[in-house]
Amino acid sequence: MKKWVPFLKSDPVVAVVRLQGIIASGARGGLNHTGLAPMLDRAFRKGKPKAVALIINSPGGSPVQSALIGAHIRRLATKHKLPVHAFVEDVAASGGYWLACAADDITIDDSSVVGSIGVISSSFGFHELMTRQGIERRVHTAGKDKSMLDPFRPERAEDIERLKSLQSQIHQSFIDHVTARRGDKLSSDKDLFTGEIWVGQKAVDVGLVDGIGHLEDKMQSTYGEKVKFAHYGQRRSLAQRLGLASLDAVVGAVEDRALWARYGL
């Protein structure tokens, strides 16, 4: 009623955006820039909110998608001149923590896991199995590095060296992002960029987050007890709503489960 009567002051509104799942491009049902951009645009624009709150529960994933989503959040925050608050549920690790750093402040639960500022690459090697089974692999390339890290042949020292060089570049981008966003809040007494994770108050102590708390209490203390919440979430595809899954989706689910398991979840 208040918004239709000019002389009545409306209650403040905070747009709440849920960022839940693995960060990955494509149609695996996780977080990616293409899928999130329209929802983020609506959250920052619709109803003239006083602020945007991000509820984050993600073990990470693609560094590029993390950067794209985080940059989109910052562009919208600047354009609409809105503060952004992050609230971590179970975990905001690796790319999930990258998203949290897109906010102006980060609040977690006593048991939330954050950090894992690093880069990881994993695979399998099948060359010995193939040898025992009498299977011959035939690969022909134009360009000596086209078959780098082929899991069906023994590892090469030069492949590992090149991979570590690539990882180092991505890691430095992650460090630069966290440093730019957290600044002087970060502890100078501890190396925070080794891939280590922190829980609850320990994360506050090293400056990765700002405090312990929860969405409603913090927003009420910041914007008043009459603050209202407008919730935004990802839209699931028809196949997901019907519980249908392709083989690719099943394989992706196994990979996703392994990523969550790193943090005991």
Side chain identity, residue 229:
F
| Burial (CB count within 10 angstroms: exposed 0-12, middle 13-18, buried 19+), residue 2 | exposed
SS in 3 state form for 74-139?
HHHHHHHCCCEEEEEEEEEECHHHHHHCCCCEEEECCCCEEECCCCCCCCCCCHHHHHHCCCCCCC
Side chain identity, residue 29:
G
Side chain identity, residue 26:
G
87: tokens are 């609230």
- DSSP three-state, residue 31: strand
Active site residues: 94, 146
Cβ atoms within 10 Å, residue 199: 16
- Cα 37 to chain center, whole Å? 14
Residues 6+ apart with CB under 8 A from 75: none
Cα dihedral: 222, 201, 22, 71 (round 10): 50
